């Protein structure tokens, strides 16, 4: 009975638990370089499925865009070679269709694909300039 009462009113255990709780909380707030590197590696692993999505979207839209542009270009050159205004008009229609319907999605996807690396490089350069 006496030990139970002494444990209840003993401040050393309560203070130690409070100090440990504050220490652990502060320790979780402040990141060391090793912890930052570990979290960055975890982030890269979690980002892997998104990289696959980026590649899939890039192939799904960029390949038809480039092929359509090449068809329009070579058709235009062929029309000039034959001096046929009908062929050059068709090639310009193909090019207009390509740019109107695939231009914006391809631009967004290419920006989505390359923006991460570009922003990281820019951030690194800014941080190096401030150091």
Q: Is 2 within the bounds of a domain?
A: no
Q: Measured at the alpha carbon of residue 53, what is the angle toward residues 51 and 55, in degrees to the nearest 5?
A: 70
pLDDT at res. 26: 60
Domain residues for the domain of 112 are 48-130
14 pLDDT exceeds 60? no
Residue 88 lies in a domain: yes
Whole-angstrom CA distances from 99 to 36, 59, 92 are 43, 17, 10
pLDDT tens sequence across 88-117:
888 889 889 888 888 888 888 888 777 766
Number of domains in the chain: 1
pLDDT in tens, 46-63: 777 777 777 787 788 888
Cβ-count burial 96-119 (b if 16+ within 10 Å, e if not): eebeeebeeebeebbeebeeeeee
Q: Looking at the domain assignment, is residue 113 inside a domain?
A: yes
5, part of any domain: no
Residue 18 lies in a domain: no
- Written as six digits, the tokens of 56 are 């899939």
Q: Determine, yes or no, domain membership for 77.
A: yes
Q: Which of 63, 50, 42 is nearest to 112 (CA)?
A: 50
């Amino acid at each position: 009975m006496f030990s139970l009462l002494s444990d209840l009113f003993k401040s050393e255990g309560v203070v130690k638990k409070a100090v440990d709780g504050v220490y652990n909380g502060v320790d979780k707030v402040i990141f060391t370089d090793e912890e930052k590197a570990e979290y960055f590696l975890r982030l890269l692993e979690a980002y892997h499925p998104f990289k696959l999505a980026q590649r899939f979207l890039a192939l799904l839209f960029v390949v038809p865009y480039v092929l359509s542009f090449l068809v329009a270009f070579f058709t235009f050159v062929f029309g000039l070679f034959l001096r046929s205004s009908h062929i050059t008009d068709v090639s310009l229609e193909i090019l207009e269709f390509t740019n109107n319907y695939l231009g914006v999605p391809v631009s967004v996807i290419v920006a989505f694909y390359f923006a991460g690396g570009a922003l990281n490089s820019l951030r690194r350069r800014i941080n190096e300039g401030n150091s």
